Amino acid sequence: MGQRLAARVFDLAVVLAGVSFLVFLLIHLIPGDPVEVMLGESARAADKAALRAALGLDLPLGEQFLRYLDGLARFDLGESLHSRRPVAELLAERIPATLRLGGAAFAVALAVSLPLGVLAAHHHRRWPDRAASLFALFGLSIPNVWLGPLLILACSSGLGLTPVSGDEGFASLVLPALTLGLSLAALNTRMVRASLLEVLHEDYVRTARAKGVSRAAALWRHALPNAALPVLTLLGLQLGSLLAGAVITEVVFGWPGVGSLLVDAIRQRDYPVVQACVLFVSLVYVLFNALVDVLYEVVDPRTRPGT
């Protein structure tokens, strides 16, 4: 166990280091002179030199990376070129909104996909199953860039139910959470259905049915817990990507989260902020995935080695 844990921590460390290094390299991918891109061509030479020194771009690459890692360790992500404020502070302001949106979308995904998936498996090859499959297919095929505006069109302007954009309390959370949650729900519905169908053919389900357990009880009590594992994995991965990948949805709805911060920073060529956003999101994503791996073993004793 200890050895496996060590191996896992090592793997995680390698991936985290790799991710940090890639994000560090980002700023060096700017074609030409990054300082010129940030300040514009007409900037004075003295300003350029000052910015270059402030960003440490005049140092050798290895030293730059060390400085960058050193800053990371102290949660010092540099200073925004635009607002002159510490990047960590800007990021910290936006994280709660992204968390709220991610949580709400996750709730939507769960609330839709679990009943729908169970229903589909229970009525395999009959109309509820077909309807669920159709929902899943459309959910997977309608991109967030379109689903968002579509929902705004239907709910905010058509029915006047919810605010169109911004963060004004619970009502404005509804549409972004639906946009983000429904595509996940589509994927999840498929997963719940597929893993249930797989388990329903197992011997222990037949045994339970032979003992006189009702179809519904066999499904809920015997099949569902065993079908939970792949579903749980998918959910875990999704939670990571939710907190990470809500960029488009946040922009569509003007939601003041990390994604909007990233896009604003891109428009302002505020590269330290861009770098920090990408790093934050990727790290959250990696950590969630690692957490899911661990949970996997906790939930399902079968996946533990030596059993």
The residues of the shown chain that bind another protein, judged by CB under 8 A, are 11, 14-15, 18-19, 22-23, 26-27, 29-31, 37, 137-138, 140-146, 149-150, 152-153, 157, 183, 187, 230, 234, 238, 240-241, 244-245, 247-248, 251-252, 262-263, 266-267, 271, 274, 278, 281-282, 285-286, 289
Residue 128, token pair as written in the block: 């509820």
Q: 252 exposed, middle or buried (CB, 10 Å; 0-12, 13-18, 19+)?
A: buried
Rank residues 23 and 208 by Cβ distance to another protein and give the closer one: 23
Using an 8 Å Cβ cutoff, are 257 and 242 in contact? no
Rank residues 287 and 299 by Cβ distance to another protein and give the closer one: 287
Rank residues 219 and 251 by Cβ distance to another protein and give the closer one: 251
Alpha helices in the chain (DSSP H): 2-26, 34-39, 45-55, 61-73, 87-122, 127-141, 144-151, 171-200, 203-210, 215-217, 224-244, 247-252, 258-267, 271-299
Rank residues 218 and 227 by Cβ distance to another protein and give the closer one: 227
Q: CA 299, 1, 226 angle in degrees (round to 5)? A: 20
Q: Which amino acid is at 174?
A: V
Which DSSP helix (H) or strand (E) runs through 121?
A: helix 87-122
Provide the CB-side half-sphere exposure for 231 (13 A, CA). 27
Provide the CB-side half-sphere exposure for 56 (13 A, CA). 18
Taking the complex as a whole, the smallest distance from the CB of residue 111 to another protein amounts, in Å, to 19
Which three-class secondary structure state does DSSP give residue 132?
A: helix
Taking the complex as a whole, the smallest distance from the CB of residue 212 to another protein amounts, in Å, to 36
| 300/307 Cα distance (integer angstroms) | 11
For residue 221, the 8-state DSSP code is I
Q: Which amino acid is at 125?
A: R
Query: What is the sign of the dihedral through the CA atoms of 138, 136, 99 and 167?
Result: positive
For 79, phi then psi, to 5°, come to: -125, 140
